[in-house]
Amino acid sequence: MRTLMGPGPSEIHPRVIAAMGQPVIGYLDPVFVTMMDELKELLRYAFMTENPLTFPASGPGSVGMEMCFVNLVEPGDKVIVCRNGVFGGRMLENVERTGGVPVVLEAPWGEPIDPQRLADCLKAHPDTRIVAFVHAETSTGCESDAAALIRIAHEYGALTIVDAVTSLGGSPVKVDAWGADAIYAASQKCLSCTPGLSPVSFNTRAIEKVRARKTRVQSWFMDLNLVLEYWAASARTYHHTAPGNSLYALHEALLLLREEGLEAAWARHRRHHLALKAGLEAMGLTLLVKEGARLPQMNAVRVPEGVDEKEVRRRLLTEFNLEIGAGLGPLAGKIWRFGIMGYSCKPENVMLCLSALGSVLSDMAYPVEVGQAESAAHHAYASLHTEAAKAAGGRGR
């Protein structure tokens, strides 16, 4: 069995696998309809929102992305796209394909979007209708300040489209507190569900823009005017055949998230990130993203000079059944991507990863002291445990 520590998918909890194996029933069956309503409520919990139009789109995160753009962007609309990685680039493609007028705000890969630069860009383009950015850039492990970017966009009268594919369930995503107008995620990252569903949420401002369109939404399947009726609790109408067993799985995955609690899930991802980081640094490895903008669940690590990064990944996979990710675009061959997302985010995975990586690097003549990385990770865990005990004691007083 593979240990999945790449950029996604993550490992799936046994309860989620069991839920996926339930017998198929009709998508208008009363039991299925009830489950759909529960799914919407569970997703509102995960997104921290009261938006009624919160549901899982049938398709991967790319479908959630496209659903946001084809509905909110009309031909001629000016859209500022913040690009600091692969997925900002995909946002740009969506703007171009919908007939929007893109303005690209570039940032170096591995660095967050600078809120002041966004403000300056909006000043230069006061007719901007939408600002689009990636909250958690999967290609680099970098997190941008969503609250600040959304606030600035709203100050200039622009709506926002936010990519939360890698953050939902692993880092704080606060749709209502931020004021995000349209946001999308994916089922296979920190939610640890099967790939193929994209949780989305739209607030009233976004829905008003969709309803005020002067042109028809170019996609029939993703037209919110039609999907609204499909996911409405009062008068649900047929739109498409729902991926029933995948929805069962997502329902169970979201129940697990609610049982753990959002803050506990965020803390778990951070705890194991710190242990992994300690072990990597003990091997002399460095992270791409600076402290303060690092995603706990997606760790981009620089490949040491002289090390064949592809051979390391191959040996980890063939000798240890351990999958990690490669760099993309300008970072290809320069970084590894270590994901600790959802059910993959656990101590045994962290320790296996450090042990296997140390073994492979040592065998390739990279100077690694056997056991040093694991020791550093254990010390990090012990330190975090002590801090948590002190904090709990303080609350008790």
- The CATH number covering residue 150 comes to 3.40.640.10
Sheet strands side by side (includes 325-326): 298-302, 335-339, 325-326
- Average pLDDT, 10 consecutive residues per value, the chain (397 residues): 96 97 85 90 98 95 97 98 98 97 98 98 98 98 98 98 98 98 98 97 96 94 84 68 90 98 98 98 97 97 97 98 97 98 98 98 92 95 79 59
Q: Is 356 part of a structural domain of the chain? A: yes
The 3-state DSSP composition of the chain as helix, strand, coil percent (nearest 5) reads: 45, 15, 35
Number of domains in the chain: 2
Q: Reduced to 3 states, what is the DSSP secondary structure of residue 330?
A: helix
* CATH number of the domain bearing residue 382: 3.90.1150.10
181 lies in the same domain as 297? no
Taking a C-beta distance cutoff of 8 angstroms, is the pair 362, 374 a contact? no
252 lies in the same domain as 272? no
41 lies in the same domain as 101? yes
The pLDDT of residue 31: 87
Taking a C-beta distance cutoff of 8 angstroms, is the pair 198, 221 a contact? no
Q: Cα–Cα–Cα angle for 204, 205, 208, nearest 5°? A: 85
CA-CA distances (angstroms) from residue 87 to 20, 126, 355? Answer: 29, 25, 31
d(CA 180, CA 236): 26
Backbone angles phi, psi at 73, to 5 degrees: -105, 120
Tell which residue, 261, 243, 249, 196, has the closest CA to residue 15.
249
117 lies in the same domain as 193? yes
100 lies in the same domain as 210? yes
d(CA 246, CA 197): 7
Taking a C-beta distance cutoff of 8 angstroms, is the pair 354, 373 a contact? yes
223 lies in the same domain as 310? no
* 159-163 and 182-184 beta bridge pairing: parallel
d(CA 337, CA 314): 14
| Helix boundaries (H) for 156-291 | 175-178, 204-211, 224-231, 244-260, 262-282
75 lies in the same domain as 171? yes
The pLDDT of residue 236: 64
Element (H, E) at 118: helix 115-124
Cis preceding-peptide flag for 199 (omega within 30 of 0): no
Q: Is 334 part of a structural domain of the chain? A: yes
d(CA 277, CA 376): 9
377 lies in the same domain as 345? yes
d(CA 237, CA 230): 5
d(CA 279, CA 275): 6
d(CA 130, CA 206): 10
142 lies in the same domain as 65? yes
> What is the residue range of 306's domain?
261-396
CA-CA distances (angstroms) from residue 143 to 87, 101, 186, 273, 370? Answer: 13, 26, 17, 14, 32
Q: Is 224 part of a structural domain of the chain? A: yes
The pLDDT of residue 28: 78
pTM above 0.85, yes or no: yes
Taking a C-beta distance cutoff of 8 angstroms, is the pair 122, 80 a contact? yes
> Which of 235, 259, 283 is a domain's end point?
259
d(CA 103, CA 125): 9
Place of tokens 């997104």: 47
Cβ within 8 Å of residue 291, ≥6 positions away: none
347 lies in the same domain as 231? no
Residue 199, beta-bridge partner list: 56
d(CA 328, CA 8): 14
The pLDDT of residue 324: 98
238 lies in the same domain as 325? no
Q: Reduced to 3 states, what is the DSSP secondary structure of residue 294?
A: strand
In 10 A of CB 277, how many CB atoms?
A: 22
Q: Is 226 part of a structural domain of the chain? A: yes
Q: Is 5 part of a structural domain of the chain? A: no
